[in-house]
Amino acid sequence: MTSRYRSTTSQGDTTSLPPRRRTVVKAAAAGAVLAGPLAAAIPARAADQAPAFLHGVASGDPLPDGILLWTRVTPTAEAIPGSGAGPDTPVEWVVARDRALTDVVAKGSVTATAASDHTVKADVRGLAPATDYFFRFSAGGTDSPVGRTRTAPASDAAVANLRFGVVSCANWEAGYFAPYRHLAARGDLDAWLHLGDYIYEYKSGEYAAGGTVVRPHAPAHEILTLADYRTRHGKYKTDPDLQALHAVAPVVAIWDDHEFADNAWSGGAVNHTEGAEGAWSARQAAAKQAYFEWMPVRPAIAGTTYRRLRFGKLADLSLLDLRSFRSQQASTGSGSVDDQERTLTGRAQLDWLKAGLAASDTTWRLVGNSVMIAPFAIGSLSAELLRPLAELLGLPKEGLAINTDQWDGYTDDRRELLAHLRSHAIRNTVFLTGDIHMAWANDVPVDAGTYPLSASAATEFVVTSMTSDNLNDYVKAPEGTISALASPVIRAANRHVHWVDTDRHGYGVLDITAERAQMDFYVLSDRADRNATSSWARSYRTRSGTQKVERTYDPV
């Protein structure tokens, strides 16, 4: 597949170094598709003029011959998300090669019921690989917005280029979702990756923008029940920028902790009080059910989000679930981080990942990874900087060089995985990571203590938060000032870290060719501004066969 189309960044963008390659025709087509969901983001119909499609349309998990389509229908005024109300409603869907939906290639019907919160999915097969399609849902004489999606290349296809948007940590109360808008306006994405924290579980005001609620979410209380999680997902899906991105490109998503509760593990969470907030098993089950109802994601192995997608001969993508099977986070300084009985992935998932990486015959092996795998030592940060960093990372304020919620807290799993990459000579493994609310470009060393004299087994690109508090937000310092102080100290203590930005909000665009995998990092002008602009900040790449990151000044 050749590079298909290039466009400028979104309207009003202040990008300092814009993407170089453009194709006007496809960009215009992208703009036309985008106009539909943006116009429909705040429905003209009142809820009592049901049925209505108030939550947009979406697609996900692209295959060479298929795509998963999603929507929610509101059949009656009382059938709001989480209500359990509303009648069974037939929903028709159609897929076509053109936006006018005249060249139809597939159609069918599903039934929206209260049992699935009136969400519906259509797992459409029999499509052509590497092809743009348009789709629409209809119910009771009402049509949804028209969405656009794209299938994956054929498994044996020689693919010249792939491009993915990459995001994580979208806290509704902390700001607007401008990264979704900017990614939607590009018009050049094969898909977009959401690496976790698509929603947040907190009660209103508990985790906002430096303590300020930019916009209130629903419900106002901390979400605990199935109805709560459905309501919160429904609120997020009313965001016009989120609807816009879902309507123009397929998503590939995994969950992290806030889809459940802060610092979740298999048996509980920091933000869960057993008994007073019910049983963790019930809360976890409710969160998973709502997630699969509201997300265009196929339930994968054991009903989790770990699964694998392939994009021709160029790349495969192993997607991890690092919450369902993990042991409880170790107490910092306890020494139990090296306990071989403790696990982040669970035995079955780690074996699955290792086998898939060893058997891969693609040029690149991408790993969708919700928490950072590269080791991170705080080193000699001053007390003034250490306290907020410790709060952000969940560390004791006296300062210890570990975040036990990351792979740092499960060193035996990491040691086994990296040794596997080395012993099997598995090259071109790139971890794509969210969670930490900072942007990083890392080598992943086998032995951080002797690096760079010792080997790097892989590389890692970490995207910052879309809206959730960064380090400067905790300190309440101007954006960029904390990063200027902290970044040199962090890099001095972590020689495998090529770059870290502790302060800014934004997103990434991953561009892959046979020669290199490159992440372009973009930052927002202001997360609290509904019309925030986006600008290019940095680009890093790893060249095929090197297992090391280097800076490039040539964004794509």
The rounded distance, in Å, linking the Cα atoms of 306 and 303 is 9
Tell me which residue of 467, 478, 475, 395 sits closest to 213, measured CA to CA: 467
pTM metric for this prediction:
0.89
Question: What is the reported pLDDT for 28?
Answer: 36
**138-193 residue pLDDT tens:** 999 999 999 999 999 999 999 999 999 999 999 999 999 999 999 999 999 999 99
Residues of each domain in the chain carrying CATH 2.60.40.380:
49-152
349-395 residue pLDDT tens: 999 999 999 999 999 999 999 999 999 887 555 555 556 666 665 55
| pLDDT at 308 exceeding the cut of 70 | yes
How large a percentage of the chain has pLDDT more than 70? Answer: 86
Q: In the prediction, which pLDDT does 118 show?
A: 98
Q: What are phi and psi of 40, to 5 degrees?
A: -90, 0
Bigger pLDDT: 78 or 16?
Answer: 78
- Look over the chain and give the mean of its residue pLDDT values, rounded to a whole number: 89
CA 275 to CA 224: how far, in whole Å?
A: 12
User: What distances in angstroms separate CA 40 from CA 33, 53, 209, one per listed residue?
Assistant: 12, 9, 28
Are the CB atoms for 243 and 234 separated by under 8 Å? no
- CATH T-level fold of 49-152: Immunoglobulin-like (2.60.40)
- Number of Cβ within 10 Å of residue 187's Cβ equals 26
Contact at 8 Å (CB) between 93 and 102? Answer: no
pLDDT tens sequence across 235-270: 999 999 999 999 999 999 999 999 999 999 999 999
Window from 65-74, 465-474, 521-530 with minimum mean pLDDT: 465-474
Bridge partners, 265 (sequence order) = 268
**Tens digits of per-residue pLDDT, 98-122?**
999 999 999 999 999 999 999 999 9
Instruction: Calculate mean pLDDT across residues 277-299.
Output: 96
Which fold does the domain 24-39+153-552 belong to in CATH? Purple Acid Phosphatase; chain A, domain 2 (3.60.21)
